[in-house]
Chain A
Amino acid sequence: MTALRMKDTFRRGDAVTLTVEGRCVMAHRGETLAAALLAAGMARLRHSPRDFSPRGAYCFMGVCQECVVRVDGVLRQSCQVPVEDGLVVELKGSL
């Protein structure tokens, strides 16, 4: 579906549709939100609170807190959120 998803070596789940900043983004069940957003070309997920500098997922394992976004209005670490059909995502952190 995009350049980042490996083609032959993985079997993917059904396609799901997320709404990210009002735009439709396709992903596959089994993917984390952070990975799906990266694959959709959305590396920037939020801004840092003091300098407002752009940030994206760094560790993908729940440590760095850089991938926090709002999922259905709730702050979530996107690397820990499995994608689901209909998720509404705002690329905005806690502040």
Chain B
Amino acid sequence: MTPADLIVVGAGPAGAAAALAASEAGLQVVLLDEAFAPGGQIYRAPPQPLSVAPTARGADDAAGDALRAAVAASAVVWTGGARVWSISGAFRVDAVTAAGSESFTAPRLVAATGAHERLVPFPGWTTPGVIGLAAATILLKSQGMVPGRRTVVAGCGPLLAAVAAKIVAGGGEVAAVVDLAGPGDWLKALPRMASRPDLLRQGLGWALKLGAARVPVLFRHMVTGVSGGETCETVTVAPVDAEGRLTGGRSRMFDVDALAIGHGLVPGCEIPKLLRAAHRFAPEAGGWTPVRDAFGRCSVAGLYAVGDGAAVAGAEPARLSGCLAGLAAAQDAGRLPADVFAREAGAARAALDKALVFAGAINRLMRARPAMVEAIAAETVICRCEDVRRGEIEAAIAAGAREINQLKHFTRCGMGPCQGRMCGETAATLLARHVGSREAAGYWTGRPPLRPVPLADLLGQFDYADIPVPTPAPL
């Protein structure tokens, strides 16, 4: 049992910043992550000895290296390769590491577990070769691989251009970029995107690269189906309106072996949910989000939630929100003088407010489009783990399921090993149509383990006689 002043779960920009800020203020900080190096998904380091050639290094590579160097140079106790499976009390964190199951305790906990992708199901979306946009960036940035020989890149938001441009740069072929948004939507976003000239410039660079490679860009289109058996063979796309409704316009087909697709990001706030913190539904933040004060404090004393795992906003807001929570944790622990806290937190807060302008524009482009969910066919699988179809979900709702956990009982939707992360948004959106709102539909009750964990990893070495068996029930 390792005691600390603060445990941070998740070592992306938000978690690392929280750990560093708190450590700087004198707190003993343990930083845990499933990955073997800090950086999160956005700054995920290629695993040694794989590395980006010096000539090909970009801004994110530099930012990731800086983050890792800062953690290494700090007093933060870094524990990589740690799969956190249980969080209990105030607070005890149990993680499976190379050393077996380890426990950490601290009076304060920062949840910085990042977002996962929203993907609205369509026929064939479970076909191998169909991957997330974020998955594509991981392949491209930390594995040096393109997703396929010929790829359709589809969905919404800036990852479309980023992924497509990196595929082209990596020697792959992009058959088409298929964007739910139209040119007008991007134009509308421009003024707010101009608040981050560096990112805007990066985005324009991607666009130019795609133009130079003559990659067709289909605005206001969506993927309507993938065919192929053991692997993706054909992607069909068709025009949609602003809300993602099919217009009835001409569909097109592309022969490809990969489809990288994503419809936005959803906060992965499993830890605040597990700890029964209050949540609110905030579409502008990607979905359900823990109720927080300006410094990331949740309704559960000692719990802070930061970064895209609390509200989707991107890397820089994540870093700043992490920094704020780290400072707040130090302040709450009585380790940071009020004037220092006010000065440092004030600066970070101002920077965060500025950074959120850009994030707002991006989130608008990546917003959920419920019309797409409404149009899902009855036979399309919603829950990949359990192969639960739209029709079965509708039947359960007709049979009286009024809340998402009840729907889970009726159908097994969300009961599989992804623990509802892949199907939760879609199932809740379908249910909300019948019960009036996403608030009424609710969210999955947080349960351990936070990720599936092999029983063998939990058991450790034991003798049967030493298992502390409680008193039997009366006869």
Contacts and interface: CB of A to CB of B under 8 A. Distances in A.
A11 B384 contact: no
Contacts of B127: 54, 56
A5 B53 CA distance: 13
A61 B422 contact: no
A39 B139 CA distance: 10
Contacts of A65: 385, 416-418, 452
A58 B172 CA distance: 19
B53 A11 contact: yes
A64 B121 CA distance: 14
B128 A30 contact: no
A3 B149 contact: yes
Contacts of A3: 146, 149
Interface residues of A, number: 47
Interface in B32-73: 34, 41, 46-53, 55-56
A85 to B, nearest CB: 13
A92 interface: no
Given A62-B451, A64-B384, A80-B34, A56 B169 contact: no
Interface in B220-276: 229-232, 257, 268
Interface string A38-67: 110001110011110111111111111110
Nearest to B114: A61
B171 A6 contact: yes
B418 A63 contact: yes
B413 to A, nearest CB: 12
Contacts of B47: 30-32, 82
A9 B52 contact: yes
B143 A35 contact: yes
A9 B55 CA distance: 7
A31 B131 contact: no
Interface size class of B (residues with CB under 8 A): 35 or more
Interface of B: 34, 41, 46-53, 55-56, 116-117, 126-132, 134-135, 138-139, 143-149, 169-172, 229-232, 257, 268, 381, 384-387, 416-418, 421-422, 451-452, 454, 456
A63 B116 contact: yes
Top 6 A-B residue pairs of the complex, sorted by shortest distance between their CB atoms: A30-B50, A56-B128, A10-B144, A9-B56, A43-B128, A13-B49
Nearest to B47: A30
Contact of A64 (B53, B232, B418): B418
By CB atoms of chain B within 10 A, which of A5, A29, A45, A65 has the most? A65
A35 B385 contact: no
Given A53-B387, A60-B138, A63-B418, A30 B145 contact: no
Contact of B50 (A13, A43, A62): A13
Interface string A1-39: 001111111111110000000000000111110010011
Contact of A57 (B48, B131, B456): B131
A30 B48 contact: yes
A76 B171 CA distance: 31
Contact of A43 (B41, B56, B143, B232): B232
Given A10-B50, A11-B49, 16 more contacts: A4-B149, A10-B52, A10-B56, A11-B51, A30-B48, A32-B143, A44-B230, A48-B385, A49-B385, A54-B230, A58-B135, A59-B132, A61-B116, A64-B418, A66-B384, A74-B456
Nearest to A56: B128
A41 B143 CA distance: 16
A12 B128 contact: no
A35 B139 contact: yes
A62 B452 CA distance: 10
Given A6-B171, A44-B230, A55-B126, A29 B116 contact: no
Contact of B135 (A6, A13, A54, A60): A60
A57 B421 CA distance: 15
A58 B130 contact: yes
Contacts of B130: 56, 58
A65 B231 CA distance: 18
Contacts of B452: 65
A59 B135 contact: yes
Nearest to A39: B145
A6 B385 contact: no
Nearest to B137: A60
A63 B46 contact: no
B131 A58 contact: yes
Contacts of A6: 144-146, 170-171
A68 B417 contact: yes
Nearest to A8: B53
A75 B451 CA distance: 14
